[in-house]
Structures are given as C-alpha cells and as structure tokens.
Structure 1
Amino acid sequence: MGESVVRVLSAGTALPGPAIDTGALARRFGMDRLWEQWVDAFIGTRTRHLAIDLESGRPRQSLADLGTAAAEEALARAGLSAQDVDVMVLGTATPDQLMPATVNVIADRLRIDDIPTFQLQSGCSGAVQTFEVASALLRTGRHRTALVLGGDVIAKHYDVTADLAALPPGELVNYVLFGDGAGAAVLSTLERPGAPELRAVATRLSGLDREPGQVLNWYGQADLKAGPAAPANEDYKAIEEWVPVLAEQAVDDLLDELGWEREEIGYLLPPQLSVAMTRRITERLELPGAVEVSRVGDTGNTGNALLFFQLENLLAEMTGPSRAIAVAVESSKWIRAGIALERPADGGRAAEHTPEGN
C-alpha cells in the first residue's frame, strides 16, 4: 500500500485593521515626500495592515486573534468543522508569548482538544515547514485532516515615538517592509475533486558559516537591565544578495525531486520580501510559463502569513490541470523552502515521478 495522497482543500487569511499606505506612515513619523518616493522606488509596498494603533502604539489584535479568524475561514471554505481536525501546526517568528504556545491558544478558541499540536519557531520558511510536518503525519494514514497556520505580528516591536530619520537602515527598513497577518490551510487525505495535490515539500538549512540576515530579540528582566537593544534588525544587503540565490536553489530542489521541467510550471508563488525584491527573484527563477501569484504589494511582508495569502489566490485561479511551485526563504539563519502542487485532470491523479523523472 502506498502513502496517502495529501490535498490542499482550502486557505483562509486574516488582516488587522484598515490598510495603511506609505503616506500615512510618513505623516505619523514626520518623514518627507522624498522618503515616500524612496519607499515606492526601492520597496514598492503600497499598503500594509498593523496590529497596533499607529497613534498610540497600543495592541489591537494578537496573533491568536488573527490565527483563529484565518482558521475559521479556511475550515468553512473546506466544508469542515474544527472537530474534523486531527493535527494542528503553526509556523511563526512572533508568538504572542513564549508560553503557552500560540497554536494551543488558537486550538482552545476553536474548541479543539486531544490532538497533536506543534508550533515551529521560524521566519518566512515556517509556513512551508508546517506543510512538511503536517503532510508527513497525514501520509502515515494515522491522521486524515490537518490545519496548518502561519502568521506574524511584527508591529508590536514598533516604537511609534521613534525618529525614523535617526534610525540606522537595519532598523528603519522594518517600518516599511512589514505588515501583520495570519493565514491557514486545510490539508487532507479526503477525496476532493479539483483540490490540488501536495506533490513535494523541501526545506533545507542553508546557513553554515553565514551570519544572520535578520535578528529578532526577546527580552527578560536581566536583558533589560543590561541596557537597551533594538528588538529587530536586518542586514538588507545580505538579504538582497542571498534570497534570490536560495530561492533558485529551492526551485531546483523541487524540480529535481519531481522530474518536472521549468516550462511545465503554470504558477509561481515567489518569496515576498517586497515588491522590488519579488520582481528580481521572479526574473532569476526563469519559469517562462508561470503566472506570478503575489500579495506583498497590498499586505506588506507578513512573514509566515504570506504563503497563505498567495495560496488563497492560487486556489481561486487554479481551475484546470496545472502545476504550481511556492518558495519561501528564511533569512535569519538562512533556510530555503518550497512546496509543489499539482491539480490533476478531474477524476484523475497527478502523474507520479521518480526523482529522475522516469
């Protein structure tokens, strides 16, 4: 008996508050028109959603709030209830607390209990890693339906009183790159006509002897007494250099495993650091027939949520037999990751490939 086939039944997402454009950020932080033009030219993100009130800095929604809303939407779209879930996995770099795990808070709100739950601490690749953990469990045949989630609330690290003009570039970029959000998807071995099959997942640590491209700090009382330190910092030059390289390697990992040709890919869900970076990455990947599925221009970089926003669009567009590849790169200690999906012809199964494509 072969392994069970895992299908992606649905995706759901949640964003906090109204969309905030770059002009609103500029006015709040006293930045001039030249700064707005710089953001437009070099970042390209038009709007983002923040889980804090921009005027007061007070939290409005937590990751658990957003994750619960996204999960409820995904389950409703799949035509399932929370009681149908056998496994839950959350990927995040910004849990609400170190303990209890945010995945378990979400489970409690959904009235889910007595199942395996996992929380993966990771940057943008955490969303892909949830697919790897969940699909491995589903393919054993012991579980049937998994709820996978990804999300981040970056804005809780913002100092809304900061003088952005005085910040070093590694801190300043966080104010314009990121937005907050959460997403969820339902994976299942249930038969579902039209649901794409999860054909492969690849995650690889790629950071040996490489300095972190991003650092996100947690503070204890002893840390605070030792003196102030930036909660978040990015080496954007290193990210610009290495993310396209690792994204290309992630695509090659998937194509080599499945024996697929570049010309056979119908949809590409590229890494979503910013609009400008996405454009560079997509050009490098050289998938000539692939339709790009991107959301970063409207949501900002929502970290582990972005894959689910892209999936939400993909599932609506993937109406005929086709293949899709999604890629994410974690830049803190450098992880390349990706998933391959295939929607077979109605009533059929995706063709099997050996690693050599025979």
Structure 2
Amino acid sequence: MNPLCFLTGTGTALPGDPVDNKTLGSTFNISEDWIDLFVGTRTRHFGRDLATGEVTHTLTDLCAEAAGRALADAGTDPCELDFVVLATATPDALLPATVNETADRLGLTHLPTYQLQAGCAGAVQAIDVARALLAGGHRTGLVVAGDVTDRFLDTAFDTSRLAPQELVNYVLFGDGAAAAVVTAEPRPGAVAVHSLLHCFAGLGRAPGQIVGWHGAAAPDPARRMLHEDYKAIERDVPALAREILWELLGTAGWGPETLHHVLPPQLSGRMTEKITAGLGLPPQVREVSCVQETGNTGNALPLLQLDLLMNRLQPGERAVSVVVESSKWIKAGLALERSATDSRAEAP
C-alpha cells in the first residue's frame, strides 16, 4: 500500500538533570521503595527546580528545542515548512497558543499553525492532521508534542493526605517535548507511515484520568485537580493495546512475523512490561521504550520513542507504535517502515 506520509527527522528535549526516585521520594515524602515497586520508573526530568520551586523550562522552551533538533536532523530549513501542528495537555497559557510561541522562537511566519488539546495520543493525532494537510497539497510540515507538570507539583503539599490514585500523579510523570518533520514525498533517511489509527473508544466509559483546568494554584472546588483510576488503566489498557496492534497490522496488510520493532504504550515502567508481554508478538520483535528514564511525558512519549527508533530501524524493517490515551479512552498508533534501499540507520 502507498504510504500516508513520511517522517524525515526527529528531535527531543528533556529539561535539566534526571531526577531519581530517591530525590523524588524525599521531596514529596513518598517511599522510594514504593515508587520502584509500584511505578518502575527510575528517573524523569522536570522543568522546575524541586528544591527552589523555580521554573527553569516552559513548554515553549522545550518544544522549540525539540523542533530545532528535528529540523536539523531532517536537513530542513525552517523556511521550507508549510505548517506546524502541536499537541499538548499543558499549554503555557490559554492564549497565546503555545504553538504560536514555538513558531515565533523558530522564526516562522505566514504559515498555518494548529494546536491540539490532547493527552497521550496527541502526537498521533498531530501526525493525522499533518497527513491530511499533506494530502491537501502541502509538502513539508512540523509536528511537535510535549507536556510540563510544574503547575501540578506542589512541593509544600502534604502527600500523606492523598489516596493512592492521587499520589500516583506525583511519581508517574515527567516533562519533555519531541518533534518530527513530515513530508509528502520520501527523502533520504525517511520512514514511511503505512497505517495510522486514531479513534475515540470511550463511549459510555468513565474517564481513566482527569486533569483539572486551573492546576494547584487555583483548583476548581467542584472537581479534583488530578485523578488517576489506576485500576481501570491496569485492566483496560493491555486489551486496548492488543486491539490497536492487530488493527494496525491488518490495515497495513502485515503479518506479525514481518514486524521487527514495537513501541508500546508508556504509562509507566511496570505497566509497559505488562502490556508488552500481553501483545502476543513473536520473540524477535524488539521493544522500543524510554519511560523508565523519562517518566510519563504525556504527548511527547510516542515521538520520544520514534526518535529512538529512527537510528535502530534498518532498511526494510517495520515497526508499530501503539498508543492508548486513558483520559477518555482513545486508541492510536502508527505502522512504520524504512525503505529497503535506505542506508541511514545504524545498529543500536
């Protein structure tokens, strides 16, 4: 089948030094052992100094950095871009949109920009929008995705008062951004998108995650600031991940035996292990994950994984990215292939 579009360069941005579980636990008075056992994430990055409370990186900072690296990786001049699509659940402000602040940092002007309010599936949604724009006549675009959690991290808050479904939000997440250059035609080093899945699957289902509008400084008294139904996520995400995998393989016309890499959902280290084991893939399929080092960076995660994949995917190899958004349940993913004549990729 003909590719939907091509990914020609990627870039990532993670703020500051990695924060390990010992530091995170001492900051929020949470057991380091509990973090290791329950979450399984070793480090994460924050755009805020946990010791002083100072914001060191905004979402715009991270998105602009990741975008610059993606453009350099693709060998694309910013003036070649026809559009920018940015996905986030945590914009720097309601207005101006973070996508426009990012475009300004990149020196872009007189081109359409789009911002999607989304959760973990936002990067795939952004690529879907980009694919449609390319099909409509544009040639080159930029997809950016990222999240920051600084407004929700109250280091003075007594976490001993929190139920586990609230406490988990202090240990699951990290900050980051990632970007990809998308084109209508292949270029050297490009990875073809052969199949894309993005569909709402939450009809009649309670949200698995709620993020309040105001953040910690001015919470809505009628609604919880952050809530994670971790039991529902543990129960439902593995099954949804399997559905996504087989739907993508079916649309692409691929059998599981032709697959070389899988990019599983990155909810946490422990959940990723469980999900990957339940996909039922042949043993030669290699996992591409980063959540144990980055934490759950929300919208950025699928593109962080993609950035890792770009230097692992050998000519002729195939990969599937599986993404589940549990806020109101979205199934998303990508079926990817590098041309058999491409010699850019290097062994890991």
Cα distance between partner residues in 2 of 1:114 and 1:245: 44
Aligned to 2:293: 298
The one-letter amino acid of 2:229's match is D
Q: 1:249, CA displacement in angstroms?
A: 1.2
Residue by residue over 1:150-205, the C-alpha shift from the partner in whole angstroms, topping out at 9 and shown as x without a partner, is 10002321111112222111221011100000000011124323421111111110
The one-letter amino acid of 2:200's match is L
5+ residue gaps in structure 1? 349-358
Contact 2:213/2:219 (CA < 8 Å) preserved in 1? no
Contact 1:62/1:153 (CA < 8 Å) preserved in 2? yes
Aligned to 1:129: 125
Cα distance between partner residues in 1 of 2:220 and 2:274: 41
Answering whether residue 155 of structure 2 is matched by residue 160 of structure 1, we say yes
2:96 is aligned, of 93, 97, 100, to 100
Contact 1:43/1:276 (CA < 8 Å) preserved in 2? yes
Q: 1:130, CA displacement in angstroms?
A: 0.7
1:41-56 → structure 2 map (5 Å cutoff): 41-56=37-52
Cα distance between partner residues in 2 of 1:180 and 1:25: 14
Aligned to 2:115: 119
Aligned to 1:354: none
5+ residue gaps in structure 2? 344-348
Q: 1:139, CA displacement in angstroms?
A: 2.3
Aligned to 2:346: none
Cα distance between partner residues in 2 of 1:226 and 1:173: 20
Aligned to 2:314: 319
1:204-353 → structure 2 map (5 Å cutoff): 204-219=199-214, 224=218, 227=221, 230-288=224-282, 289-346=284-341
2:139 is aligned, of 140, 144, 148, to 144
TM-score normalised per structure 1: 0.91
Compared CA separation, residues 77 and 332, structure 1 to 2 (3 A)? same
Q: Say which SS state the counterpart of residue 325 (structure 1) adopts.
A: strand
Cα distance between partner residues in 1 of 2:93 and 2:79: 26
Contact 2:140/2:181 (CA < 8 Å) preserved in 1? yes
Residue by residue over 1:268-304, the C-alpha shift from the partner in whole angstroms, topping out at 9 and shown as x without a partner, is 0100011110011111111213110000000000001
Compared CA separation, residues 312 and 226, structure 1 to 2 (3 A)? closer
Cα distance between partner residues in 2 of 1:29 and 1:38: 13
Cα distance between partner residues in 2 of 1:151 and 1:249: 26
The one-letter amino acid of 2:273's match is R
Q: 1:344, CA displacement in angstroms?
A: 2.0
1:60 is aligned, of 56, 61, 81, to 56
Query: Runs of at least 4 residues of structure 1 off by over 3 A?
Result: 2-5, 223-230
Q: Give the aligned CA root-mean-square deviation in angstroms.
A: 2.0
Q: Say which SS state the counterpart of residue 186 (structure 1) adopts.
A: strand
Contact 1:267/1:325 (CA < 8 Å) preserved in 2? yes
Cα distance between partner residues in 1 of 2:286 and 2:220: 50
Contact 2:4/2:195 (CA < 8 Å) preserved in 1? no
Q: 1:224, CA displacement in angstroms?
A: 4.9
Answering whether residue 32 of structure 2 is matched by residue 36 of structure 1, we say yes
Contact 2:3/2:192 (CA < 8 Å) preserved in 1? no
Compared CA separation, residues 77 and 264, structure 1 to 2 (3 A)? same
Aligned to 2:5: 6
Cα distance between partner residues in 2 of 1:291 and 1:63: 31
Contact 1:293/1:314 (CA < 8 Å) preserved in 2? yes
Q: Say which SS state the counterpart of residue 103 (structure 1) adopts.
A: helix
- Percent sequence identity over aligned pairs: 49
Residue by residue over 1:19-63, the C-alpha shift from the partner in whole angstroms, topping out at 9 and shown as x without a partner, is 1000001222234xxx21121122110000011110232322111
The one-letter amino acid of 2:56's match is R
Cα distance between partner residues in 1 of 2:221 and 2:206: 23
Aligned length: 341
Answering whether residue 194 of structure 2 is matched by residue 195 of structure 1, we say no
Cα distance between partner residues in 2 of 1:148 and 1:92: 11
Cα distance between partner residues in 2 of 1:61 and 1:345: 40
Contact 2:188/2:342 (CA < 8 Å) preserved in 1? yes
Cα distance between partner residues in 2 of 1:152 and 1:225: 19
Cα distance between partner residues in 1 of 2:342 and 2:163: 56
Cα distance between partner residues in 2 of 1:215 and 1:135: 29
Contact 1:91/1:130 (CA < 8 Å) preserved in 2? yes
Answering whether residue 164 of structure 2 is matched by residue 169 of structure 1, we say yes
Aligned to 1:91: 87
